Amino acid sequence: MKEKVSEKDSWLALIPVGMGLFMVLLDASVLRVALPKITQDFHATMSDVQWISNSYTLTMVSLLVLAGRIGDVVRRDKYFISAMAIFTFSSFLCAQAWNVASLIFFRAIQAVGGAMLSSNVLAIITELFPPGKRGMAMGINSVMTASSFTLGPIIGGWLTTNLSWHWVFYINVPVGIISIILASTLLPPLEAKERVPIDFSGAVLLGISLALITLGITNGRVWGWWSRKTIACFIVSIPYAFAFLIRELNCDYPILDLSLFKVRNFSVSILAISILFFGLSASLFVLPYFLQGIKSLTAEESGYWMVSIPLLNTLFAPLAGRLSDEINPKYLMCLGPLFFALSLHFLRNVGIDVNYWTFFFELIPMGIGMGLLMSPSYNVMMGSVPREKVGMANGTVRSINTLSQAMGVAVGGVLIANRMDELTGYGNFLPDPGTMNLLKVMTKSNPLPLISLVSGFVDSMHYVFSIVVWLPIVSSIMILLLVE
């Protein structure tokens, strides 16, 4: 920035940035609710449905580091507005899709805008707010991140039920237009921090490697973890990753400066956040099957059952961010995972007959834990890297978080399927609403298979939480010992 921006102007500038981030993160969870209706309207196959999601995820992961690095060498405010324009227009195109192929293509375009936007939000906050003032802003960022997980089913369920699946994309258009107008008015000039060439060769090598790893993780449960396609994804990614490392070590202007990982606070904070995202994704993968399949709730209703997570995160994330500017953030970062572990401990004993308020209060520590960990961690991470590389760092953080989420879903699926197979032999049948309704019809004369599936799933769910509960404890110990 050419001249110092007042604190009031910085907070005003955060409005369009927060709107854009929330819209991009919400998009994935909203779409999951709409996929059954899209499948019905387009007569889509299971493979088609997978690629509607995969086209977005793979494109996003492939471009995040590159998009963050470009943000370091151009005017970041103009770059943000361009990202919003691409995401908004492609959302309109997704709503207009006439078949599965067109929707898959438009989703990939949407991911380009999403990568440009989400890989620069933390960098923008770092530039807008000086050290000692940016903690609460990071808290707002973590509120947007956490809220998108659980508000998606509520919003997506309402739109799909009362309007149509097209509206999960149409809703982005007015929000995007408003965000573009506000960004054009409120964002100050954020000049380039470095005038250097972009290492597109390194970006291609990294993008291919990350895309193959992500494809193997996201499709492994469907293909089979020991299938040729899954193994091929992981094996083929190795030489690309190795070539990328060699390239970056010998490049004058690397797309990812590997020396960033020598910064202890940056590396440890990334690892701590990744563990949290991993555990959150594994948990939120299992819970909708319990709520919608076992308790027969709608997707929208299940969102309300989990609303205590974003509510408590909204309260604690800004507070923790503010405190991280005034006290050692290490202690907040240690405490957060312990609250998260407490929620997982409660969920190890959740029963079929659990009522709304009991479930609501059991998830409260998870919301508190996310708030206490995420905003101080973001503050520590972005404050520990050179200012001219904050975009690169932001893209790296988003890439690793995205992979952690994908791995959490994959591992959660593997654990519960293997456990159910041991207990009931129904490892390939998760209790989604369609499967449960079919079983209820088929087992009217003999309810034992239905009873077996329900009890087996609940036991398997407890098993997953019993394993995952140790991850945040490890994260807390690691932060205590390693964060400076």
pLDDT digits (tens, 9 = 90+) for 24-56: 877 777 777 777 677 777 776 656 766 777 788
More confident call, 48 vs 274: 274
Q: Does the domain formed by 7-198+255-433+454-482 have CATH 1.20.1250.20?
A: yes
- Asked whether the CA dihedral 88, 91, 95, 96 is positive or negative, the reply is positive
Whole-number Å distance between alpha carbons of 131 and 123:
13
As a whole number, the mean pLDDT across the chain is 79
User: Are the C-beta atoms of residues 280 and 149 closer than 8 Å to each other?
Assistant: yes
pLDDT at 45: 65
Q: Where are the domains of the chain?
A: 7-198+255-433+454-482, 199-254
- Rounded to 5 degrees, what are φ and ψ at 427? -60, -25
pLDDT digits (tens, 9 = 90+) for 141-151: 777 776 676 67
pLDDT digits (tens, 9 = 90+) for 345-402: 898 888 888 888 998 999 899 888 888 887 788 777 777 777 777 777 777 777 777 7
User: What average pLDDT does the segment 458-466 reach?
Assistant: 85
| pTM greater than 0.85 (yes/no) | no
Whole-number Å distance between alpha carbons of 72 and 52:
31
Q: Write down the number of H helices and E strands in the chain.
A: 19, 0
DSSP 260-275: GGGSHHHHHHHHHHHH
pLDDT at 87: 92
**In which element (H, E) is residue 413 found?**
helix 390-423
pLDDT at 426: 59
198 CB burial (10 A radius; 0-12, 13-18, 19+): middle
Does the pLDDT of residue 428 top 60, yes or no?
no
Which pLDDT band holds residue 424 (cuts at 50, 70, 90)?
low
Per-residue tokens: 81: 């507005």
Whole-number Å distance between alpha carbons of 362 and 352:
14
Instruction: Read off the DSSP letter of residue 290.
Output: I
pLDDT digits (tens, 9 = 90+) for 66-118: 888 888 787 888 888 999 999 999 999 998 888 888 888 999 899 899 888 88
